[in-house]
Amino acid sequence: MSGLVVVGSGPAALAAAQAYRESDGDGPVTMITEDVHPPYARPPLTKDYLRGADELDDLWLRDDGWFEDNLVTLTTGTRVTGIDPEARRVSTGGAQEVGYADLVLATGSSPQPLPVPGGDHPDLVYVRDLASGRRLRQIAEQPSGRVVVIGSGFIGCEAAASFATQGVETVLVTDEDIPHTRRLGAEAGKRIADWLRTDGVDLHTGSALAMIERTGHRWALRLDDDTMIDAAHVVCAGGARPRLELAETAGLALANGGVVADSLLRTSVAHIRVAGDIAYARNVAAGRPLRVEHWGDAETQGEIAGAGVAGRQLQWASAPGFWSTIGDRTLKYSSWGDGFDDYEVRGDDRSWTVWYRQGTQLAGVLSYRDDDAYELGQGLLAERAPYAQAIDEVDR
């Protein structure tokens, strides 16, 4: 039994393998991924790659030489189907097994299926992997009619704005009255809705999808207000859910939709760490466990997990955050991700920041074209600054 096995090939998995090596871990490293491709960037799939500003070659996170140079064996197209924590082995179907001294699970998320009749049709584009990104790109290049995007989260808004700015007739359907209200509040949501309309997206808000039907090469969508929409393509962006199947088979403690971990990303089972979208890990700065679905935090957690296996103790202590680009506008958002009671907005249409309060504490910062405010907010969050102190500093 020796070495590190990493399950997954997203940012968390890759960072774990790299940090293990950079922390002088000298055992064999094996990365096993169901994905048929070597590690690639997901964020551009709804942004620059969809719009044709990035090509496939811009997406790869490492070149082939990196795996060789770092003695990392990458096994693609292979699903890990079970873990035996006693014997310290993972199985990959059939009789194939791989032993480990330490295991990092970074299985990420999969798209939430649309819970309506027709929501499982294979021609729907559920946005997650490179194959789905390629379909988005093809649609943008040869639209052959209207695209309907379902869901007004970041992925839905990004994809809709990207299509519309490419000249594709685009409808965004959401059950929210204003996009993003649940996560960011109505004020930010209204601004995002205005951007989408300016980019040419036809917003259909306040009605949920009720049914999808395929007729020949077209789609018929019925909403719960009985509106019918005809489409050439349907893009599903109704959220993601963490892939916990493997964690469950290993008997790892689960809570709040994720794998319970301490701030070093150690799970309830010896020699198994976790990182990325599936982790419900203690964040030292927040003083409580959090589950977040952000690229940068997946990398940070992977680094902590991989370094930890090699004996270098790091802790998850930074305020979580991510960027989203809608059309040509980049939003930067940092928060604990578990809600807010109230917020205040500063700035004007050209540049603005939303400050979120939960109880007496600062709970988050959302900023458009004000990097100073964003950085100040991230720092204050990490210090667990009271909200009043944060607003004082902002207004000073």
Ligand X SMILES: Cc1cc2nc3c(=O)[nH]c(=O)nc-3n(C[C@H](O)[C@H](O)[C@H](O)COP(=O)(O)OP(=O)(O)OC[C@H]3O[C@@H](n4cnc5c(N)ncnc54)[C@H](O)[C@@H]3O)c2cc1C
Among 4, 5, 6, 12, binds ligand X (CB under 6 A): 12
Residue 66 or 295 with smaller CB distance to ligand X: 295
Q: Which of 91/389 has CB closer to ligand X? A: 91
From the CB of 192, what's the least distance to ligand X, in Å?
14
- In the list 21, 180, 243, 291, the residue contacting ligand X (rule: CB under 6 A) is 243
Tokens of 280: 């419900």
- Alpha-carbon distance of 274 to 281, in angstroms, equals 9
Scanning 167-244, the segments in alpha helix (DSSP H) are 181-184, 186-198
Stretch that binds ligand X, among 7-15, 117-125, 226-234, 336-344 (CB under 6 A): 7-15
Nearest distance in Å: CB 279, ligand X = 8
Of the candidates 8, 153, 185, 327, which one interacts with ligand X according to CB under 6 A? 8
Going by the DSSP 8-state scheme, the letter that residue 60 receives in this structure is B
Residues 118-157 that bind ligand X (CB under 6 A): 127-128, 155
Please report how close the Cβ of residue 240 comes to ligand X at its closest, in angstroms.
Answer: 7
Check binding of 298 to ligand X (CB under 6 A).
yes
By rule CB under 6 A, what string of x and - marks binding of each residue 33-72 to ligand X?
xxx------xx-xx--------------------------
Rounded to 5 degrees, φ, ψ at 208 are -90, 155
Min separation Cβ 47 and ligand X, Å: 7
- Tell me how far apart the alpha carbons of residues 29 and 46 are, in angstroms, rounded to a whole number: 32
By CB under 6 A, the residues from 301 to 330 that bind ligand X are: 322-324
Q: Which two tokens stand for residue 214?
A: 């395929």
Residue 276 in the binding site for ligand X (CB under 6 A)? yes
What three-state secondary structure class fits 90?
strand
Which of 378, 385 has the CB closer to ligand X? 378
Q: CB of residue 227 vs ligand X: minimum separation in angstroms? A: 27
DSSP-derived secondary structure letter, 294: -
* Residue 3 amino acid letter: G
Q: How far is the CB of 382 from ligand X (least distance, A)?
A: 17
Q: Which residues neighbour 42 within 8 Å (Cβ) at sequence distance 6 or greater?
A: 10, 128, 129, 133, 295
Single out the segment in contact with ligand X by CB under 6 A; choices: 4-12, 55-63, 115-123, 141-149: 4-12
* Long-range contacts at 184-192 (CB < 8 A, ≥ 24 apart): 184/333, 184/354, 184/366, 185/340, 185/343, 185/354, 185/356, 187/343, 187/345, 187/354, 188/345, 188/354, 188/366, 191/349, 191/352, 191/368, 192/157, 192/326, 192/331
Footprint (CB under 6 A) of ligand X, residues 335-394: none
Q: Which of 23, 295, 317, 369 binds ligand X (CB under 6 A)?
A: 295
One-letter identity of residue 344: E
Residues contacting ligand X: total by CB under 6 A: 36
Instruction: Give how far Cα 139 sits from Cα of 79, 99, 135, 156, 298, Å.
Output: 29, 43, 6, 15, 29
Nearer to ligand X, 188 or 394 (CB): 188
CB of 394 to ligand X, least distance (A): 24
Q: How far apart are CA 71 and CA 215, in angstroms?
A: 51
Whether the Cβ atoms of residue 274 and residue 267 lie closer than 8 Å to each other: yes
Find the binding residues for ligand X in span 157-186 (CB under 6 A).
Answer: none
> Which of 183, 222, 294, 332 touches ligand X by CB under 6 A?
294
DSSP class of residue 386 equals B
Q: Which is nearer to ligand X, 32 or 380 (CB)?
A: 32
107 lies in the binding site for ligand X (CB under 6 A): yes
Asked if 5 interacts with ligand X (CB under 6 A), we say: no
> Which helix (H) or strand (E) covers residue 172, if one does?
strand 170-173
Using CB under 6 A as the criterion, which residues of the chain lie in contact with ligand X when the complex forms?
Answer: 7-13, 32-35, 42-43, 45-46, 79-80, 106-109, 127-128, 155, 243, 246, 276-277, 293-296, 298, 322-324
